[in-house]
Structure 1
Amino acid sequence: MSRASLVLAKSKSELTRAQARYNFVQSEYDAALLAATALADAATTAEAVADTSTRLLVQAMRPTGSPRQGVSPLDVLFGDSSEEALLGELSTVERLNSQSVDPEVLAARADRDHDRAVAARAHADQAFTAAGQLPLDEARTELEAAEAAVTAATAAVAALRVAGAAATQVAALPPAPLDDGRLIDAAWTAPGSGPITDTFGPRPERPAGAGPFHYAVDIGTGCNAWIVAASAGTVSAAGAFSGLGNRIVIDHGNGVTTSYAHLVDGGIAVVVGQAVAAGEAIGLSGSTGVSTGCHLHFEVAIDGVRTDPIPFLAARGVTVG
């Protein structure tokens, strides 16, 4: 098993653990929040009862000469209480009205109901605080990190598989013909100026739509830069060609051809059958076809089999890049 596969297996194991922890903390949080909400509802009812006890006390302590009587259920119905506390208040009114309206008794009852309401609200607040202290955010962050790690490890394994497929493809190719020195005495030159941005060979990471093997050298010429014939020959193709965009092919004789691709639209300056000299301008660089930016895609083929342009030109005293 490759190192990348081991990393993927470990990442998946960590993801399973993080998912289980998150699920547990989430269930704990849901239960705590449900309990806190129930306590908050109980506190609201206790506060309504305390308010009713206070109103009873106030009425019982009216100035001398005022009739002292209990609270009517209608007072509750038309008061400010919520529907949740209404039944509790009505029950309290009936219970208190059936008892003595002695102010001392009512005062004691009001104090007790007030203390119960305060305690109930404090208990509810504590429950909400405890729910908020559960490490739900921490568990979520850990889960997201584990998911990202699995994604990265999966991509790494996929890249290795692509690289392996490319290597297999290269191994299955017929051997490139040996450079037997054909045209060794002919004049050769670099087809464009700029740094080498991609070389001949497999490329695990490739632009969308491109193959796993790069049969050329890419030269970072920039946009609208003049491209020249690498050597004298006759133009055998000039026009759009699949993913290579606008392309020129020059036949140099003795089975050697060169190809210049991704030229800008309208940037082909030669026609099929035209004879060109080494270093003669033939077109302008661009980014047509499958390309991520302006550059020259330069190929060399010997007897129809593409070969690495860099050593081919180096053998003729030409440095690219």
Structure 2
Amino acid sequence: MREQTADRFEEHRPHLRAIAHRMLGSPAEAEDAVQETWLRLCRVHPDEIDNLAAWLRTALSRVCLDALRRRRARPEHTVDHLPDTPAADDPAADAVLADAVERALFVVLDTLTPAERVAFVLHDTFAVPFEHIAPIVGRTTATTKKLASRARHKVRGAHPAPEPTTRHRHVVDAFLAAARAGDFAALLAVLAPDVVRRADPTALPPGAPAEVRGAHAVAAETVLLTANARAARPALVDGRPGIVVARHGRARLALTLTVRGDRIAAYEVVADPARLRRLAITLLS
């Protein structure tokens, strides 16, 4: 009996992994959620389950919902600078990471509440009816529809943010290219002489100052953080020119830039999880 149950579970594993990955944004966390679902299945007699696919989806969604709530209650206090970043000589891995960041929408999904995220992912991505989602999030069907609607507006943008001006986008792209290459001279060319860099403490290596002034000092620091730049993408952050660094489907850093003329006059690095969740982020192609 247990072997038959295991075989049937394995048939559903790819679909379960896809749901968990979209909800949690991390392959490792998704695999853990799928494994927890298997353990819960083992504690239930087969005769108690009428529809295995629906039961597994519900159980997995509740596991993911609990994980999202724990994540929100205990936000990360540190930003991992290097371990999750592809090696400098691994362009294939870098391309995979860039593609994942571009297409997954996890950066925006992280701005949703756990219930909004579950409702949106199950309904809009996997076509689960609202009456089946409602018991998972502990709401009425009508309220669950509202959760998904709010999430949809956040993800798609109730009021689409305007594209940055060509000049601003050129400056952002030039800064990113110089940062990725660790090109000190190119950084000096795109930074204003009196540029100011401010940052949340969690965005910085131990001992680094919260504020750095002057193009030479900011460029020198940026060269040391090339790994972060490799995972960065241009974005609108609260409607302003910006940059987002995401790893494993989650926004780790957001930069809001002040562009003056053809140079960056100032920028702030936001890394505090609570602040990140409050930002309206739109990734740019």
Q: Which TM-score bucket, shorter chain as reference?
A: under 0.3
TM-score (norm 2): 0.23
Q: Which has the higher contact order (CA 8 A, sep 6+)?
A: 2
